Amino acid sequence: MFRSEYADVPPVELPIHEAVLGPAAGFGDLPALIDGTDGTTLTYEQVDRFHRRLAAAFAEAGVRKGDVLALHSPNTIAFPTAFYAATRAGATVTTVHPLATAGEFAKQLGDSAARWIVTVSPLLGTARRAAELAGGVREIFVCDSAPGHRSLIDMLATAAPEPEPRIDPAEDIAALPYSSGTTGTPKGVMLTHRQIATNLAQLDAPVPTSPGDRILAVLPFFHIYGLTALMNAPLRRGATVVVLPRFDLETFLAAIENHRITGLYVAPPIVLALAKHPVVSRYDLSSLKYVISAAAPLDAQLARACSERLGLPPLGQAYGMTELSPGTHVVPLAGSARPPAARSAGSSPAPRCGSSPWTIPARTSARARRARS
């Protein structure tokens, strides 16, 4: 039997918005989110205040506990605010690939029984067509602005009271991401508030984050890897998240240099670029303290080439799956310089907990949610 080097982690019995933003007021004017393309910044005080006002506006619009809200957007500094506002209003958030076709989006809307959509104006045409195909969508909101649609920015001015739905963290579904694994039709993965929040607590010991850390969010928030490692985890601990809407190598490198990024969570293709591409040498990446790769296997020689080029400790790797909220294994930052043989026999770096996520088809999920609400 392999036993973790870390203490057991008790389940976190909090709604995800409280688990992540509960300490936000204490972080005050520290930058929480920075747009990596234009520098627009939201402080922790603003994120806390804005998501509460937006939750009130959602409730005023008719969003209720048990509803499903589809969040259809690339990475923006508005994405976390919309996500936490929806969960605070009692809704489940189903995250949608921003490049999904109208038909693909419609299938997810119908399968998840989504009644509300939050999108951005460049994707509005796809969202409208998807809503027409699926039916049942009551309103489409936009993060920016578009004629005929309410803007989240304008909705912050609501005077409606903050909603206080009774959320059971162990039973109520916070997020409904869609995953097909490596093959097959995407299926809705039911993740409760407790499951996501507890997985964040499991990451505290092996991958600690604190105010002053700067994380670059280039992997998509709609995917569970980005949602956990690049949004929930750093915001929970007062770090600054620099947001990029897509991966472009030079924009990515410039963001590291200009914003003095300390930590990167990436996938192997980005590791390959960091290790091999000649343009990397033109940028000052000396602020980096660590790189963690996940989402696919990483070749040992490539990992070594990347760490040596950047002057970093050996690259960490992580493993997980959407059904597990998602992290199950990660190389601890404190032990990344130790080769595996240096660990004691019969020990494992993975924290343990009794959290037990599960996956069932989202059509069944929708009926189950309606029965519980």
Do 115 and 204 have their domain in common? no
Do 340 and 365 have their domain in common? no
Per-residue pLDDT tens digits for 253-273: 999 999 999 999 999 999 999
Per-residue pLDDT tens digits for 167-213: 999 999 999 999 976 677 899 999 999 999 999 999 999 999 999 99
- In a domain? residue 353: no
Query: How far apart (Å, rounded) are the C-alpha atoms in residues 154 and 151?
Result: 5
- In a domain? residue 264: yes
Summarize the confidence of residues 154-167 as an average pLDDT: 98
Do 200 and 331 have their domain in common? yes
Do 231 and 340 have their domain in common? yes
Query: How far apart (Å, rounded) are the C-alpha atoms in residues 178 and 94?
Result: 8
Per-residue pLDDT tens digits for 325-350: 999 999 999 876 654 444 444 444 55
Do 77 and 57 have their domain in common? yes
- Residue numbers of the domain that contains 83: 44-191+359-372
Do 187 and 321 have their domain in common? no
Assign residue 311 the CATH number of its domain: 3.40.50.980
Query: How far apart (Å, rounded) are the C-alpha atoms in residues 76 and 119?
Result: 11
Identify the DSSP state of 314: P
Query: How far apart (Å, rounded) are the C-alpha atoms in residues 244 and 242?
Result: 7
CA angle 96, 98, 190 (to 5 degrees): 15
- The confidence band for 362, taking pLDDT boundaries of 50, 70 and 90, is very low
Do 289 and 223 have their domain in common? yes
